[in-house]
Amino acid sequence: MYNIDDSEIIEVVGQEKLEGELIPQGSKNGALPLIAASIAFDYPIKLYNIPNIEDVNILISILKYINCQVDFNKNELLIDPRKIDKYEIPWELASKMRASFDLLGPIVFRFSKARIPFPGGCLIGNRKVDIHLYAAKQLGFEVELTKGDVFVHNFNKSKVNKVINFWIPSVGATKNVIFLAAFAANIINDEILINNIAVEPEVIKLFDFLLNNGFNIEYSINKKYLKVKPFKIKNYTFYEDYNILDRIETGTYILAALATKGKIFIKEDSYSKEYFKLSLMLDSLLSILKQVGFNIEYYNDGIYCAYENTKLQPIDIETGYYPDFPTDLQPQLVSLALSINSVSTIKEKIFDDRFIYVNELRRLGADIDILDNKIAIVKGGNELSGAKVIATDIRGGAAILIATLFANNTSIISNVYQLKRGYENLIDKFNNLKANIKLKSNKEKIYEYRF
Ligand code: UD1
């Protein structure tokens, strides 16, 4: 069902309490749209705080393919888009990462057309792109599906609909539509309104980046609308910007520390203000942790989270669109629930198949029922026992790692690649928090997985 890469494994010696300080990485889902957006302009752009993770490196390889110059060094990414000369992305590159579909909007903005492979299946459920394609048609483009590619082209200004209503506040569609709408608004010389947009912090960071680069947009976080007006691109010779912190990476370490009955101090950076402060971006997580009985304290320079009270309450929560509880922390929260001596209920409302990782948790002895593929009933408190497990997807993999950290004995995690897609320096970061984990090359096949 899924490809397993066993070229590397992580060996986890369980039952070490995590303790220490975390300096969060730059956001994965913040970096990808900023990098994609940079190709819409015609001057070099330097982005700071870009995590050195597989997904970023794959996007960089796609940028290089379209002849964008890229230099990535110590979390600083210099993008020079001036020589880009391709508007088509081959399947071999696009299939490595779903988020390559995010290039659709920026490429259309640059070339008035783009050909991008239709995104493939995914391990967390159906991930349709019908809203992206609907919006492209409403904005006056022809959308053709040929040989597995989506071809957006042939803009016709008489076919532009100036009001677009999303039926789901899709993160991906919001990121793409802003470029398509900007292209159309400039030609019809009129404003376009998009209703029911995503307001995830990573999307708002993209809006701010585009505003700084001349886009004439107006948005409301509360009313979830975006107005895109005609504008002239800036005549910059150079632009630089700073990526926001990774709320999902941070949440993962908080949940890992608490599941091992430990404590963690999360260092905020001085750049992140207001909407992008970790304490705000993680409010839904921190609130539920407080309700459960963990100690959460806020400081000017960070957040302290600790297991202190032994009488913890069960977790009862459902995932939702921002500011509700993020689906990308749902698997890790299930692992925390396994460490609590109670029956917790965690509902998945964003994706339709986001419990594949649960089978791997069961291999460690987890008692979890999944109802309708939507609700996890987690019977926590049983001692888990180390086993050979597979990191099924980025966040499912993180959940599995968390469970092995408080399971007894040693566990072996394969498909490490999935964790590397989203977590920078994972091994060092966990070991700095006093975990006992090792990355091992598996060339001699000390471990092999067979179906
Ligand atoms: C982004 C994030 C991902 C996160 C998700 C939800 C990136 C690279 N990925 O994914 O980590 O889990 O937001 O916060 O930033 N949908 C449709 N039709 C569409 C588009 C979406 O039905 O055209 C559905 C999807 O099937 C899914 C839901 O809407 O069930 C959410 O999708 P969306 O918000 O677009 O998430 P992504 O951008 O794929």
pLDDT score, position 401: 98
pLDDT score, position 318: 98
Q: How far apart are CA 116 and CA 93, in angstroms?
A: 10
In single-letter form, the type of residue at position 98 comes to R
Task: State whether the Cα torsion 200-106-172-330 is positive or negative.
Answer: negative
Q: How far apart are CA 80 and CA 362, in angstroms?
A: 48
Q: Does the beta carbon of 171 lie inside 6 Å of ligand 1?
A: yes
For the chain, helix, strand, coil in percent to 5 are: 35, 25, 40
pLDDT score, position 331: 98
* Token pair 């071809």 in the structure block, residue: 151
Where in the chain is CATH 3.65.10.10? 8-16+288-294+309-441, 28-228
Q: What is the DSSP letter of 319?
A: B
Q: Does the beta carbon of 173 lie inside 6 Å of ligand 1?
A: yes
Give the pairing type, strands 343-347 and 316-318: parallel
pLDDT score, position 225: 98
pLDDT score, position 177: 98
CA of 446 to the centre of ligand 1 (A): 37
- Fold annotation for 8-16+288-294+309-441: UDP-n-acetylglucosamine1-carboxyvinyl-transferase; Chain (3.65.10)
Chain CA centroid to CA 421, Å: 10
Tell me the catalytic residues: 122
Q: Which ligand 1 atom lies nearest to the CA of residue 134?
A: 23
pLDDT score, position 120: 63
* Regions in the chain scoring below 70 on pLDDT: 1-3, 120-126, 448-451
Q: Determine which residue's CA is closest to atom 29 belonging to ligand 1.
A: 170
Burial class (CB in 10 A: 0-12, 13-18, 19+), 156: exposed
The tens digit of pLDDT for each residue in 386-405 reads 999 999 999 999 999 999 99
CA of 357 to the centre of ligand 1 (A): 19
CA of 36 to the centre of ligand 1 (A): 17
pTM: 0.97
Write the CA distances from 166 to 29, 341, 414, integer angstroms.
21, 42, 39
- Fold annotation for 28-228: UDP-n-acetylglucosamine1-carboxyvinyl-transferase; Chain (3.65.10)
**Phi then psi for 143, rounded to 5 degrees?**
-120, 115
Q: Determine which residue's CA is closest to atom 20 belonging to ligand 1.
A: 129
Q: Which of 103, 132, 171 to mutate to test the pocket of ligand 1 (most atoms within 8 A of CB)?
A: 171
Burial class (CB in 10 A: 0-12, 13-18, 19+), 163: exposed
The tens digit of pLDDT for each residue in 130-175 reads 999 999 999 999 999 988 899 999 999 999 999 999 999 999 999 9
